[in-house]
Structures are given as C-alpha cells and as structure tokens.
Amino acid sequence: MPEIHIERSHQLGIEAARTIARKWVRQVERDYGLDCSYEEGPARDLGHFSRTGIEGSVEVSGDTFRLQATLTGLFGGFSGPIEQRLRQKLDDLLSRRGDEDENAYNDNDWL
C-alpha cells in the first residue's frame, strides 16, 4: 500500500495554521466525500480523513503541517500524482496564509 508523508514548516502560529487546516478539511469533506474529524488542542490539532481507498491524518502545530495518507485500491495506482497534487495544494495554502476566501481552494482534481 502506498504511503504519502508530507511535512511543511511555517511561521504562522497555531491560530492561522488552524484556520488553514479547517478550510482544507471542509473542502475535502465537501468535494470528495471524505469522512473527516478535527480535534483542537492547546499546541497542536489533529484531523483524520477517510473513504474507500484513502485514509490519513493531518497534524497542525504553530510551526508545522504534517500530512500522512495510505492509499489502497484504485488510488494506490495513482500515488505519485496524488502526492504531487497534495504537496502543491499544501504549499498553495501556506503561501496564501488562509487570507483568501474558502472557494479559492476548490480544486477538484487533486485527489
């Protein structure tokens, strides 16, 4: 089973990072039918996502984003392009710093 691990450092602080992570979670939940949960903590948040063919988590702190996903079935055959798009989307979100409206992240071809 292909595994995807992406880690990005940032200097946004936990509140701004949390805003970005929550936007991402809402988008993937709505656009791709992923079952998502999101738990806030004092120093780090943890989100989980899943559906047939993909399961993973995103960990958010004041200085780091970590995304981990396991791909199975049909998704497993496309792990390279999926990982590339995930990296690009995370980099886009971090460069925008969560300032733009929520629909700016609606890119239905990353998963």
> Which CATH topology does 3-93 take?
TATA-Binding Protein (3.30.310)
pLDDT top residue among 104 and 49? 49
Give the strand order in the sheet containing 35-39: 3-9, 64-71, 54-61, 44-51, 35-39
* Burial track 76-87 (b if 16+ CB lie within 10 A, e otherwise): eeebeebbeebe
Alpha carbon distance 89, 93 (integer Å): 6
For the chain, the average pLDDT equals 84
Q: Residue 3: pLDDT above 50? A: yes
pLDDT tens digits for range 26-63:
888 887 788 999 999 999 999 999 999 999 999 999 99
Check: CB of residue 72 under 8 Å from CB of residue 5.
Answer: no
Domain extent listing, the chain: 3-93
Mean per-residue pLDDT, 65-89: 89
97 pLDDT band, cuts 50/70/90, is low
Q: Residue 9: pLDDT above 50? A: yes
